[in-house]
Amino acid sequence: MRAAQQLVDGLHTPPRLPEIAAVCAVAADHEAFSVHLSDGCPVDGRFEIGSITKTMTGILLASLADDGIVHLDDEIGRWLDAGDNADITLAQLATHTSGLPRLSPSHVPGAPDPYAFLTADVAEAELRAAPRKPRGVEHDYSNFGFQILGLVLERADGTAFADLLERRILRPLGMACSGIPGHGGGAGITGYAHGAPAERWSHHLWGAGGVEASAEDMARYVMACLNPPDSPVGWAISQAQEPRFEIDPLRSSGLGWPIGPPGYLGHDGGTAGFRSMLGINRSAQRAAAVFVNVQEARGLAPAVRHALDADS
C-alpha cells in the first residue's frame, strides 16, 4: 500500500507544513498496514494523539463492562461526589449526552497549561458546580465528560488509568511505545506552536486526551480498530464502535467513537503542539491516520478522507 506515503506527501505538497514538522501516517486494509514517516522522524517517536485518546477510553469502558466491573447504565454517583449530577450514566459520558459542558466550569480558555488545576478532587467539585442539563437527549461534545469518565473507570477497577490502558489495550495489541507520559517505551517528540517548541499540557485526568503513541503502534491500533481481533480487546473495540445514540440521520455516537456518515467512523485530536486524525471506511475496509507535531497543522481530515476513498 502506498496510502501512508501519499498521506505524508499530500501534507507537504503543496507546502502546508513548516520545515520543523515531523509527520507520521499509517494506512491499513483487511490484510496489512503500512507506515510512513517524514525525514528525520524517529521510528519510535511518540506523538501526542489528543482526543483520539477518547476512542481508547471508550474501549476501556466496554472492556470493564464486558468483565462485569461496570455497566453502561451505572450512575457516576456510585464512585464520585457529583451533587446534582450524580445520576449521569457511564454511557451518557461516553456518548457525549451527559449534559456536561465542553470544558469544566473553572477552565480558563487560552491558559498556557489549561488542565493542570484539574485534579480528581477538583474535578468532583467542578461536577457539583456544573449546571444541570437534560441527560441522554442531546449530543454535546464534552472534554470534561471524558476526563470524568477516565476517573470513574480508575475508581471502579481500583487501577490507575495508565495501567488500565496498558493491560487492556496496549499490551494485547503489542503497542510497546505508547502510553501516558512516563509509561511505555519510545522517544519523545517535540511539539511546536507558532514556530516555537510548545510546553506540554499537564494532566491529572487522562481519559480525554493524554495518550502518546509511536507510528507503528498507531498502525497496530488502526488495524485492530478496522479488523477487531478475536480476543477480549477485539470484543471491546467492536462494542465501543456500536452506535449508541443517533445524532441525526447520518451520524451517531459510539463509546468514544463518532460514527458517520454511514460506513465511516473516526476521531481527530489536538494538543499544545500536535494535531492528529484517524478515520475508518468500513465499506471499503480501509483505515488511515496522520499525526503532526505542529499545533497549527491543517488539512489532516481531507487527507485522511482521500486515503480512505482513493482506489488502491
* Per-residue model confidence as pLDDT tens digits over 163-214: 999 999 999 999 999 999 999 999 999 999 998 999 999 999 999 999 999 9
Res 66 pLDDT > 60 = yes
Which has the closest alpha carbon to 297: 23, 49, 110? 23
Percentage of residues of the chain with pLDDT beyond 90: 81
Q: Residue 312's pLDDT is what?
A: 46
Q: Does domain 3-309 have CATH number 3.40.710.10?
A: yes
The predicted-structure confidence for 68-77, as pLDDT tens digits, reads as follows: 999 999 999 9
For the beta carbon of residue 94, count every other beta carbon within 10 angstroms: 28
Q: Residue 21's pLDDT is what?
A: 77
The residues near 33 (Cβ < 8 Å, ≥ 6 apart) are: 1, 26, 27, 219, 220, 222, 223
Q: Residue 138's pLDDT is what?
A: 93
* Pairwise CA distance, residues 269 & 50, whole Å: 4
Res 20 pLDDT > 70 = no
SS3 per residue for 120-148: HHHHHHHHHHCCCCCCCCCCCCCHHHHHH
Please list the residues that pair with 45 across neighbouring strands: 187
Residue 99 is classified by DSSP as -
Average pLDDT across the chain, whole number: 92
Q: Is 203 helix (H, G, I), strand (E, B) or coil?
A: coil
Res 9 pLDDT > 70 = no
Q: Residue 7's pLDDT is what?
A: 59
Res 219 pLDDT > 70 = yes
Among the ranges 6-15, 131-140, 275-284, which has the highest mean pLDDT value?
Answer: 275-284
The residues near 278 (Cβ < 8 Å, ≥ 6 apart) are: 52, 55, 218, 222, 225, 266, 267, 268, 287, 288, 289, 304
* Pairwise CA distance, residues 202 & 22, whole Å: 22
Q: Residue 149's pLDDT is what?
A: 98
Res 40 pLDDT > 90 = no
Q: Considering the entire predicted model, what is its pTM?
A: 0.94
Res 11 pLDDT > 50 = yes
Q: What is the mean pLDDT of residues 63-85?
A: 98
Owner of C-alpha cell 476517573: 151
Res 39 pLDDT > 70 = yes
The predicted-structure confidence for 249-303, as pLDDT tens digits, reads as follows: 999 999 999 999 999 999 999 999 999 999 999 999 999 999 999 999 888 999 9
| 5 pLDDT tier (thresholds 50, 70, 90) | low
Q: Residue 13's pLDDT is what?
A: 46
Q: Which residue has the higher pLDDT, 245 or 20?
A: 245
Name the CA dihedral angle for 152, 165, 191, 301, rounded to a multiple of 10 degrees.
-90
